[in-house]
């Protein structure tokens, strides 16, 4: 890459031990954090990765050397940490060690303020400048950093959830099973307790984190796995989380996969029927069908940049209560400040119980436009404006579909990938056009 960056679209993330996730950068970033936030006591959590152990040690060293008390609350979902921090006056912030949906060899760090919200871009940029200025002349001194452990903090989040959802057991008792896939990650620590407490008979899968199996062939990235399980077990719903629990994908009783756009539609329809007329916030990746249905309801549709913090910023700016991404990263602002897979799944189930309908009935109301996403591994970033083949691809898509199509091409903020998304009403035509250009683009990257 031509320019070094520590922060991406979701905190710091990379291969554990490699730039930007090295001991030196983690220590210096933690040190400079206290210059922009008033910190005395901070909670630290992780999503079960093996590398989280040494990262936690470095974080504690950075906090201790800055006069900040760190408290290890164990493996819990990112939204759980955010809510615990926000609900308590005792803590000034939180640090989540997580690479979200990425494989186990990746890890990352998300810094949260006292309201449980991620740092603003301008703060991250200032910290990044200082760290990059120091890094060449800095040597990290190994220490055995540690802090107090308090693994009972998760009860604060669980109690909050149960105070918000009181689904009538009389409505749920004849429903049958829910299959829940925890992606061998953070939700394995609480999901069964929460869903059982509101009245559901749960069948838990991929709930045995080893430190190396998070997101491996399971969870929200592989919803076809839970779809198969729903059919085999005659379940009435399936719920698949990602590694740190801020995403959710659901499956109806027929095995149909309901992605974030369909879930957003179900939520919007429910809110709208109850008088909601504020905007719905999606991203540049959100399906055209969702935008059209929102506008048919008389609801404005706002497209934010990819990344839940950018969705959140647009929600605040437009006073929206509902926003999210196709990936299942959905924010309900009357419940939380960040994407929360458990809250979203429970809200969908609540809507289901109150309507007396099935997931397949309410999910089929939104017919998504075919969308093809290509991820191309890269060794370097070429400015997209100078990329002849990409311009040709965009022009051909536009001409073929008479402007009734969308092409989104961007570099990932968290992985060495070029992402190409094309959306239109004919999947075969999209595929044929993409096949013409993908090989040429790969040759350059």
Q: Where in the chain is the domain with CATH 3.40.120.10?
A: 7-154, 165-363
Residue 432: phi and psi, rounded to 5, are -65, -40
Q: What is the pLDDT of residue 382?
A: 82
- Name the residue among 285, 286, 242 with its Cα closest to residue 265: 286
Which class in CATH covers the domain with range 7-154? alpha beta
Which residue bears the tokens 């307790």? 193
User: What ranges in 319-387 are assigned the alpha helix state H?
Assistant: 341-355, 359-363
Give 271: exposed, middle or buried? Use CB within 10 Å, 0-12, 13-18, 19+: buried
Q: Please give the positions annotated as active site.
A: 100
Q: What is the pLDDT of residue 416?
A: 86
Q: What is the pLDDT of residue 171?
A: 65
Q: How far apart are CA 29 and CA 47, in angstroms?
A: 20
Structure-block tokens of residue 153: 């903090």
Q: What is the pLDDT of residue 1?
A: 35
74: left (phi over 0), alpha (psi -120 to 50) or beta: left
Q: How far apart are CA 338 and CA 359, in angstroms?
A: 24
Rounded to the nearest 10 degrees, the angle between the axes of helix 23-33 and helix 121-134 is: 130
Q: How far apart are CA 194 and CA 80, in angstroms?
A: 12
Q: Where in the chain is the domain with CATH 3.30.310.50?
A: 371-444
**Structural fold of domain 165-363:** Alpha-D-Glucose-1,6-Bisphosphate; Chain A, domain 3 (3.40.120)
Structure-block tokens of residue 341: 């897979």
* Architecture of the 371-444 domain: 2-Layer Sandwich (3.30)
Structure-block tokens of residue 375: 């991820």
Q: How far apart are CA 258 and CA 253, in angstroms?
A: 11
Neighbours of 3 (CB within 10 A): 5
Residue positions counted in the chain: 445
Spans of the chain, pLDDT less than 50: 1-2
Q: What is the pLDDT of residue 229?
A: 97
Residue 301: phi and psi, rounded to 5, are -120, 120
Q: What is the pLDDT of residue 9?
A: 83
Are 62 and 26 in contact, with CB atoms under 8 Å apart? Answer: yes
């Amino acid at each position: 890459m031509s320019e070094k960056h520590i922060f991406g679209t979701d905190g710091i993330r990379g291969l554990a031990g490699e730039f930007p996730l090295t001991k030196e950068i983690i220590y210096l970033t933690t040190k400079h954090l206290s210059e922009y936030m008033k910190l005395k006591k901070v909670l630290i959590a992780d999503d079960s990765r093996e590398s989280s152990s040494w990262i936690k040690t470095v974080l504690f060293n950075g906090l201790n050397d800055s006069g900040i008390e760190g408290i290890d609350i164990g493996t819990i979902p990112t939204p759980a940490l955010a809510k615990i921090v926000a609900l308590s006056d005792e803590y000034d912030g939180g640090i989540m060690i997580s690479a979200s949906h990425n494989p186990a060899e990746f890890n990352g760090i998300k810094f949260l303020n006292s309201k449980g919200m991620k740092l603003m871009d301008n703060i991250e940029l200032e910290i990044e400048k200082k760290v990059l200025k120091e890094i060449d002349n800095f040597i990290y001194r190994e220490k055995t950093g540690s802090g107090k452990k308090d693994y009972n903090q998760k009860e604060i989040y669980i109690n909050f959830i149960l105070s918000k959802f009181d689904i009538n057991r009389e409505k749920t008792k004849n429903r049958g099973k829910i299959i829940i896939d925890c992606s061998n990650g953070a939700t394995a620590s609480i999901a069964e307790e929460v869903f059982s407490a509101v009245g559901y008979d749960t069948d838990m899968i991929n709930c045995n984190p080893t430190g190396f199996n998070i997101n491996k062939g399971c969870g929200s990235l592989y919803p076809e796995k839970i779809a198969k399980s729903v059919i085999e077990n005659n379940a009435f719903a399936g719920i698949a989380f990602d590694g740190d629990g801020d995403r959710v994908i659901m499956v109806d009783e027929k095995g149909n996969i309901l992605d974030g756009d369909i879930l957003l539609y179900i939520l919007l329809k429910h809110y709208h029927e109850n008088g909601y007329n504020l905007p719905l916030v999606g991203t540049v990746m959100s399906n055209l069908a969702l935008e059209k249905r929102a506008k048919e309801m008389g609801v404005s549709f706002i497209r934010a940049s990819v990344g839940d913090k950018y969705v959140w910023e647009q929600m605040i700016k437009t006073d929206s209560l509902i926003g999210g991404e196709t990936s299942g990263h959905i924010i309900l602002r009357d419940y939380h400040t960040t994407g929360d897979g458990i809250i979203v799944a429970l809200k969908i189930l609540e809507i289901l119980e109150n309507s007396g309908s099935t997931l397949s009935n309410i999910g089929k109301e939104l017919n998504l436009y075919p969308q093809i996403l290509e991820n191309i591994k890269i060794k370097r970033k070429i400015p997209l404006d100078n990329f002849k083949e990409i311009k040709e691809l965009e022009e051909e898509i536009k001409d073929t579909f008479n402007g009734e199509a969308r092409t989104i091409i961007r570099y990932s903020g968290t992985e060495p990938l070029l992402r190409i998304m094309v959306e239109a009403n004919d999947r075969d035509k999209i595929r044929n056009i993409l096949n013409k250009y993908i090989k040429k683009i790969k040759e350059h990257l």
